[in-house]
Every structure is written in C-alpha cells, then in structure tokens.
Amino acid sequence: MKAAVLRTPGQPMEIEEISISKPQGREVLVRLQAVGVCHSDLHVLTGDFPQPLPAILGHEAAGIVEQVGPDVRHVKAGDRVIVCLTFHCGHCEQCLGGNSHRCFPAEANRADDEPPRFYRGEESISAFMSMGAFAEQMLVHDSGVVPIRDDMPFDRACLIGCGVTTGFGAATRTAGVRPGDTVAVIGCGGVGLSAINGAAVAGAARIIAIDMVPSKLEMAKLFGASDGIDASQGDVAKQVKELTQGRGVDHAIEAIGLKQTIEDAFRILAKGGIATVVGMARPDTRIELPALAFLQERKIQGSMMGGVRTTVDIPRYVDLYLDGRLHLDQLISRRRPLAEINEAFDDMKKGELARSVLMFDA
C-alpha cells in the first residue's frame, strides 16, 4: 500500500510502498477514506515532539473496516468507522471511573517481540499516536474504532476523530459551559472553531473569538461567536476587559499552545472563572501566573481530547452534525489527495485555513 513516510524531521514526507500486517487479537484493519491534517502532526514533522523514525503520521481518520482480529466483537468487515486516538483497556482505574480517554494502554500497540504493524522489507515503520493514518490502510486496537451511520460523509466524519472532539468536548465536557455563560476562545483553527460551536450548543450567552487572522474571526461567527478580537491589535486581556465592562469571562478556552496565549487565557477570567488549555504546547513550555488571582477563585485546567467517551460521544457528534447543529462543512478549507500531503502542511503553516482533508478513492 501507499503511505506518506517521515524519515527526517523538517524534511518533506515521501510517498512509499510499504507493507501492513494482518490483524491479530483485538486489532482492526481499516481502509481509509478521509484523513484530517492536524497541528499535532506538524509538531512531529518539524521535530518539536519526539517520534521514532521512520514513521507514518496522521491520526484524524475515517474509513471502512476490511478485516478484524479474532477477539474483535463490536465491528465487522464493511462497517463505516471513525478511528479515535483514545485507545483504552476498559478495566483500569481511569476506564472504570469514566475517563477512558486518559488510559492509553500498552495493548494499543504490538509488543516488541511481535511483528511490526507497518514495515518495508526488514525495516519497521512506527505509527504516530498508534495510528499512522497518512496511508491507504491502518491497523489499530479496536477500542478506538467506532461504527457510524451510513449517511455520514467520510470527509466530515474524520474531523470528529480528533479536532472536533477535542474542541467541542473542551467546551461542553471539560469546561462544562452552562447556559448564560460568557466564553472566550483563543485560536480559531479547527479546534478553536469547534470549541466555539460547543459553547454555542451549550447555550453560552456571549462567545468571544480571539485570533490574529481577520478571516478566521469572520469564520468564527459562522460557528456561533458573537464578538471577535484581533490579537494583533494590542493587549488581549485589555481588549477582553473593555468588551466585558471590566468583568472578564466565565470560561477561556486556549486552542494554540503558546506560553503567551495560555497566560492570556488566565488573565481574561472573571472572578471564579476557569481557563481550559487545549493547545498542544512544546514540552519545554513553562507558564507564569499571578498567584493573587487564585484568591479570586480563578482556575486553570487541561483538557485531553475533550474528555471523550468514544462509544458514547462520537455517535452523538455524528447525530449533531446530521441534525445541523455541529458545523463540519465549514471546517474543511481544502481537500487533497495523499500525494499532496506536503502541500497540505504548507497550507497549515500559512495559518489561513481551518482544516485540510486528505481524500482516498472510495
């Protein structure tokens, strides 16, 4: 099969012919139909995050099940599925406590003494996020494979596998936005726009979109933003306080992952407000917060994949889209074939698009 293989950080990926193993145990072989291009992949591509190389990146995927291992029960060949990176064991403290998205068990990958899932001759090829979705096929643990309705388009479905779930869930599950709340979202890429969408569905009275790209601020209105702030026009905290008559916001959702924007998320909170950090920061990022602000009961917290419960939430997100409440059509800025994977990342680096999607032949 064809796959985009990263061999050297900072260098373009090459389309190579590689081999994929047959499923064993709880593994599922999926023929991919659509894959989103996410910033997390870019962090590995540029070398900001470590990953054994050579590797196949990509983790925002939808496709059709081709074959299942002997221990798989909930999906079968021919099923249309979304694959979510929150693989889980189902029996640990986190899983039994309703937080399966925090699990990441060893069984999500093959053991060192087992044949690799991806290989080329004698060379083993690693899979980013235990997925490796920039390929025609993918072999994954069944806990991340969720069957979906036949009327759900693949190019929209794949976005639910990571970015949409991360942003929408950050607002509705992690932050717990309630009707009447005031919410600010910093960063209006795919994740930030989905957070705005989630806040709107949750009933937020006011949603402030913050970005440095005017076109993204305009797009944010389509997802439910009531106000926009151009971060390039001065101090963000000052602009938010002016917009809210000095009060600040009940919730700030940070969807970039920079020291400055994380600190801004905390600075713009009202008394008792909560900052939820979604953006993927570099491992060496350190933040500085004013300690006295904690006396006003301000809080800061992280969010992992929007707290998703895959088998419960992902089908609900599909239903929300088909009911017209989850905005996925507007997220897709460009569709490309696998052969144009490097061009898709060039688009991302320009910072002007919401999401590019790689399309495979049906």
Do 172 and 32 lie in one domain? The reply is no
Distance CA 3, CA 18 (A): 7
117 assigned to some structural domain: yes
242 assigned to some structural domain: yes
Over range 245-271, report the average pLDDT: 97
Give pLDDT, residue 282: 86
Contact between 39 and 280 (Cβ < 8 Å): yes
Distance CA 299, CA 278 (A): 14
Choice among 40, 126, 130, 143 that is catalytic: 40
Give pLDDT, residue 104: 86
Please tell me the total count of domains within the chain. Answer: 2
Give pLDDT, residue 362: 45
Q: What angle do CA 348, 349, 354 make, to 5 degrees?
A: 30
> Is residue 329 scored above 80 in pLDDT?
yes
Do 116 and 173 lie in one domain? The reply is no
Contact between 227 and 208 (Cβ < 8 Å): yes
Do 13 and 145 lie in one domain? The reply is yes
Band (139; pLDDT cuts 50, 70, 90) = very high
Q: Taking the model in full, what pTM does it have?
A: 0.94
Report the percentage of the chain scoring pLDDT > 90: 91
Distance CA 106, CA 35 (A): 25
Contact between 182 and 203 (Cβ < 8 Å): no
Do 31 and 135 lie in one domain? The reply is yes
Band (354; pLDDT cuts 50, 70, 90) = confident
CATH number at residue 7: 3.90.180.10
Do 49 and 14 lie in one domain? The reply is yes
Residue 38: active-site member = yes
* Token pair recorded at residue 111: 């053991």
Do 283 and 244 lie in one domain? The reply is yes
Choice among 59, 88, 101, 251 that is catalytic: 59
User: Each residue of 84-109: pLDDT tens digit?
Assistant: 999 999 999 999 999 999 998 888 99
> Is residue 234 scored above 90 in pLDDT?
yes
Residue 92: active-site member = no
Give pLDDT, residue 244: 97
Q: What H or E segment, with its residue span, contains residue 194?
A: helix 190-201
Do 31 and 174 lie in one domain? The reply is no
Choice among 39, 43, 141, 251 that is catalytic: 43
Residue 162: active-site member = yes
Choice among 92, 126, 162, 194 that is catalytic: 162
User: Each residue of 143-164: pLDDT tens digit?
Assistant: 999 999 999 999 999 999 999 9
Q: Structural domain of residue 183, as residue ranges? A: 167-303
Do 155 and 171 lie in one domain? The reply is no
Higher pLDDT residue, 355 or 37? 37
Which residues have CB under 8 Å from 108's CB, separation 6+?
Answer: 87, 130, 140, 141, 143, 144
Range 194-224 burial, b when 16+ CB lie within 10 A, else e: bbbbbbbbbebebbbbbbebeebbebbeebb
User: To the nearest whole number, what is the mean pLDDT of the chain?
Assistant: 95
User: Any idea which of 206-210, 247-251, 279-283, 303-307 has the lowest mean pLDDT?
Assistant: 279-283
Over range 7-34, report the average pLDDT: 97
Over range 184-204, report the average pLDDT: 97
Residue 43: active-site member = yes
Give pLDDT, residue 302: 97
Choice among 38, 84, 103, 188 that is catalytic: 38
